Structure 1
Amino acid sequence: MAQIRQFVTDNAAEFFEDLKDWLRIPSISSDPDRVADVRASAQWLAAKLRADGFPVVEVWETGGGAGLPAVFAEWPSGDPDAPTVAVYGHHDVQPVTPLELWQTGPFEPTERDGRLYARGAADDKGQVFFHTLGLKAHLAATGRTAPAVNLKLIVEGEEESGSPHFPALLREHADRLACDVVVVSDTGMWAKGTPTSCTGMRGLIAAEVDFTGPHGDVHSGSFGGAIPNPITELVRVLAQLHDGERKVTLPGFYDGIVELSEVDRELFAKLPFDEQEWLGNAKSTAPVGEAGYSTLERVWARPTAEINGIFGGHTGPGGKTIVPSEAHAKLSFRLVAGQEPVDVAKAFETWIAERVPAGITAAVRFEGEGVRPCLTPLDHPALQSVSRALGRAFAEDPATPREILYTREGGSGPEADLQDVLGAPVVFLGISLPDDGWHGPNEKVDLDLLLKGAEAAAYLWEDLAEHGLR
């Protein structure tokens, strides 16, 4: 363990310079003008993995002609009893607007105050790349010529565009990606002084509702109060989406969900949570939500329904006295383990249909099939291996691991697809901090934490090989 830490320290400078080279590639998957850059990013990573010794490295094309390829790499252990581990991450990044808010160029990696600033530094190139240093440290410290586990990497190129083709890619290559566990390095930790591992992410289904009334805008003085107003009727319907205790009123919405255990609640309560500070980050002044749950429990472990936007009629300067012809709303449902996006979509469509008043025509549309939630049991052997690896990396003496606490994340990603298609549990090894500015200007990552991530990865492969996954 001491050798691993020393190797990581000794090779940090070269690691950071290589990462900066990768970060200079503007691999923005949502920008059609950057398709070639996403491809260049994939090719850069593939070349790096080959140079590091991976005997199998391939660039996989995605469907739909998107031109946003993924990278697959494999390094067999050579031990017939070794478990197989797949590491997931992504090499595409978010757009960088507004540029004027960046202190330095988003694709000009810059070190300041122990942090590396660049788009993708934390989300997710930095967290993908620490695995390369961790693997080198693992091999150097153990004297092995191959990892202690059968190691596979799948690094996609369209995560920031919603991973539209990723499930199909997983199904197409399910035999090549077969594994005992998936390690996701696309999440964060609670704080630099409070290392944590994420154990679950919520799912998501998004919808748009259209209410149509008159065939065109009409004079409110001549017709108002005598015909249905689509905006008024839509607001009345959506106001019924929650009851007095802020529970979602869709029939069956909570059926079958995995409820919080007392252990879960005790572990959440151990985190040094400052609600006032959290409210400040949320740009709010008071917490609200489903009765009977703490703030962390609401955002991590309870399903929600949010109205993301409502629009229609006159919204320009000055008055315009009309009964508008149309009203629209965008909504999103965050889901927890035990819920299926398709079931929630059907329930919402039926719920709307039952409440459409006379004189109004309604339509409901969904943005794709949604994202399923995922949850790793606290007693899963792979999660315990991640906890020990992180505990050693963050301990003053790696031989005496420190306690690792657990979080969940309120957001959503492709983790459930990995879990379902590959039939393997998902565990999370992430080192990013809440203020790293994902998707915003001046995205950054703590340089020391990148090295802690590499160190934890080096410990993890030996731990998984020693303790197995049973």
Structure 2
Amino acid sequence: MSTPPGGADSEVGAVRTYVHSHSAAFLGELAEWLRIPSVSAQPEHADDVRRGADWLAGKLRDTGFPVVEIWDTPGAPAVFAHWPAEDPAAPTVLVYGHHDVQPAALADGWHSEPFAPEIRDGKLYARGAADDKGQVFFHTLGLRAHLATTGRSAPAVHLKLLVEGEEESGSPHFRALVEDRADRLAADTVVISDTGMWDETTPTVCTGMRGLAECELVLHGPEQDIHSGSFGGAVPNPATALARVVAALHDEEGRVTVPGFYDGITPLTEYERRLFAELPFDEEDWLRTAKSRATAGESGHTTLERVWARPTAEVNGIGGGYQGEGSKTIIPSSAFVKLSFRLVEGQEPERIEQAVRDWALARVPEGLRAEISFAASTRPCLTPLSHPALQSVVRSMEKAFGRPVRFTREGGSGPAADLRDVLGAPVLFLGVSVPSDGWHAPDEKVELDLLLKGAEASAHLWQDLADHWSEAH
């Protein structure tokens, strides 16, 4: 870790000095949490997930939160905490994260035990170090720094935390939890720290995530596989028909052909396109990370624009008929395809699902029976660059990093839109993880310098939001 520059005679210097002087204790406590294998996807770790929730609840009480509760769900528990500000007129901020982690084992390719945290070369290696325990826990250090350097006995904002235990299992009960507890979770804005930055030297703030709709289309033909010599060319083949549907999903420009698919989307402004273009993006390096040899997609857009700000349709799996060695001359009785649609602001999952359903079924030839089913969807989420609360995050990050902050988006999907839609609050992203941290991969790690800068940014954010909240209204 680097030595904190500056002195305690300034806000930035005081926060930095506090964070670094308390970093050893902070990292020791984080290591305790990381030793708990809170893998929500594996039933044998259900007790560990609860133990991890209990551990966090205890540390939040130690931090000073007067209200800390474990909220049970039909799955894993969530942790809720609330610390009211002294000023009743202060804004209310809800911080979201998750305490569950992905499965991990030494045999997967780890160089150290995934649940035995180890520091090497300024990096903390453990499952959950970056995703998401490290980024949840830096808020405790940041809050203590905020209180210590401002002389406050309570945060400058009404501060709430919601840390769920099923994010790595798809958050199946999260929306219902938020709806059921909406009165307790009511907030003016939401801060999500389950995200990251562009790289180690380029601090960035994410402004949005794409939504997701998924479906499976199954075409049924003959009641059983039949002889292709006796019946081929005379009855409809479900695999052939399915291939035609899939082939028609995109036009020659890479655009999705489903009618109305692009209706109402929020397009990138020229300013946003310039901001994306200014990022130090190396397409060849990106392709190596993607294990691919060429880029593809909607024409007229860069790779970053395609991944962050344009809707997509992808074939996730396709099958039907004989799959073994050699040949088997049949007409298969059925064929299937699994599709996913990443959505951007302005696209409603329900409307997209109906459009896809109508489009696909209209292409099924007579004599075949079609079944199409959709999984639970996720809405897209976008916060305008001009939003005053977003500018508070930017200023706080710039104080922590000492350099200008740039903007990104996430191509993936998450619970951000659920929080925004249910609570009616804008969503902000504050994360310091970098791509090399290896989320979900062997040797997941977090850069210690960046983790402490996350704590610094958190310390600055609460006062900045309190000072500038009136600008957001």
**Aligned ranges for residues 165-176 of structure 1 at < 5 Å?**
165-176=173-184
Match of 1:48 in 2: 59
SS class of match (1:148): coil
Q: Deviations over 1:315-372 (max 9, x none)?
A: 122322222111111110000000011111111111111010122111101112x000
Gaps of 5+ in 1: 396-401
The reply on whether 1:360 has 2:368 as its aligned counterpart is: yes
Task: Measure, in 1, the Cα distance between the counterparts of 2:306 and 2:446.
Answer: 27
Aligned counterpart, 2:129: 121
Q: Map residues 272-351 of structure 1 onto 2, 5 A cutoff.
A: 272-351=280-359
1:241 is paired with a residue whose SS is coil
Q: Which residue of 2 aligns with 1:440?
A: 441
Q: Which residue is 1:420 aligned to?
A: 421
Runs of 4+ in structure 1 deviating by more than 6 angstroms, as ranges, are none
Task: Say which of 54, 62, 69 aligns to 1:58.
Answer: 69
Partner residue in 1 for 2:384: 377
> For residue 460 of structure 1, what is the aligned residue in structure 2?
461
Matching residue within 374, 384, 394 for 1:387? 394
| More displaced stretch, 119-128 vs 222-231 | 222-231
Letter in 2 for 1:218: I
For residues 188 and 173 of structure 2, the distance between their equivalents in structure 1, rounded to whole angstroms, comes to 23
* Partner amino acid, structure 2, of 1:49: L
Post-superposition Cα deviations, 1:258-316, rounded to whole Å, max 9, x if no partner, equal 01111111111110111111111111111111111111001000000000110121212
- Residue 184 of structure 1 contacts residue 427 of structure 1 at CA under 8 Å; is this kept in 2? yes
What secondary structure sits across from 2:248 in the alignment? helix
Q: Are 2:106 and 2:112, in contact at CA under 8 Å, matched by a contact in 1?
A: no
* Contact in 1 for aligned 2:106/2:113 (Cα 8 Å): no
Deviation of 1:14 after TM superposition, in Å, equals 0.9
Following TM superposition, by how much is the alpha carbon of 1:449 offset from its aligned partner in structure 2, in angstroms? 0.7
Tell me if structure 1 keeps the 8 A contact 2:287–2:295: yes
Q: Name the CA distance, whole Å, in 1 between partners of 2:257 and 2:425.
A: 34
Write the distance in 2 (CA, Å) between the matches of 1:219 and 1:270. Answer: 59
Kept in 2: contact 1:57–1:71 (CA 8 A): yes
What is the one-letter code of the residue matched to 2:382?
L
TM-score scaled to structure 1, two decimals?
Answer: 0.96
Q: CA deviation at 1:107?
A: 0.9
In 2, the alpha carbon distance for the partners of 1:314 and 1:12 equals 59
Question: Equivalents in 1 of 2:208, 2:239: separation in Å?
Answer: 37
Q: Report what 1:214 is aligned to.
A: 222
Residues 1:451 and 2:446 are matched in the alignment: no
* Cα distance per residue 1:75-97 (max 9 Å; x no partner): 11111221111100000111226
State the shift of 1:98 in Å: 7.8
How many angstroms apart in 2 are the aligned matches of 1:458 and 1:264? 28
SS of the residue corresponding to residue 435 of structure 1 reads helix
Residues 228-307 of structure 1 aligned to structure 2 (within 5 Å): 228-307=236-315
Distance 1:101 1:240 in 2: 41
- Give 1:226 shift: 2.4
SS in 2 for 1:211: strand
Preserved contact between residue 106 and residue 114 of structure 2 (Cα < 8 Å): no
Q: Determine the C-alpha separation between the residues in 1 that align with 2:23 and 2:235.
A: 70
Shift of 1:167: 1.1
Query: Normalising by the residue count of structure 2, what TM-score does the alignment of the two structures yield?
Result: 0.96
Q: CA deviation at 1:219?
A: 2.0
Q: Distance in 1 between matches of 2:334 and 2:117?
A: 47
Inter-partner Cα distance in structure 2 for 1:101 and 1:220: 46
Backbone CA RMSD of aligned residues:
1.1
- Give the Cα–Cα distance (whole angstroms) in 1 for the partners of residues 347 and 399 of structure 2: 36
Please state whether the residue corresponding to 1:41 is helix, strand or coil. helix
Identity of aligned residues (%): 64
| Structure 2: distance between partners of 1:224 and 1:103 | 55
1:23 paired with 2:29, answer no
Native 8 Å contact 2:216 2:339 kept in 1: yes
Letter in 1 for 2:13: A
Matches within 5 A, 1:31-42: 31-42=42-53
1:409 maps to which residue?
410
Partners of 2:81 and 2:330 lie apart in 1 by 61
Cα-to-partner distance string for 1:110-141 (whole Å, 9 max, x where unaligned): 11221111111111111000000000111111
Query: How far apart, CA to CA, are the structure 1 residues paired with 2:319 and 2:124?
Result: 40
Q: How many residues of Structure 1 are paired with residues of Structure 2 in the alignment?
A: 460
Cα contact 1:29–1:94 (8 A) shared by 2:
yes
Give the 3-state SS of the residue equivalent to 1:5 in structure 2: helix
Q: For residue 94 of structure 1, what is the aligned residue in structure 2?
A: 102
Deviation at 1:227, TM superposition (A): 2.1
Corresponding residue for residue 185 of structure 1: 193
Structure 2 partner of 1:204: 212
Give the whole-Å Cα distance in 2 for the aligned partners of 1:308 and 1:112: 38
Q: 1:98 to 1:305 in 2, by over 3 A?
A: farther
Are 1:90 and 1:159, in contact at CA under 8 Å, matched by a contact in 2?
A: yes
1:154 counterpart = 2:162: yes
How far apart in 1 are the matches of 2:40 and 2:287? Answer: 32
Rounded Cα–Cα distance in structure 1 between residues aligned with 2:324 and 2:400: 56
Amino acid in structure 2 at the alignment position of 1:403: P
Unaligned residue ranges in structure 2 (runs of 5+): 1-11
Show the counterpart of 1:399: none
Alpha carbons 2:104, 2:442 under 8 Å: kept: yes
For 1:453 and 1:314, how far apart are their aligned partners in 2? 53
Counterpart position of 2:8: none
Give the residue type in structure 1 aligned to 2:380: P
Contact 1:99-1:441 at 8 Å conserved across structures: no
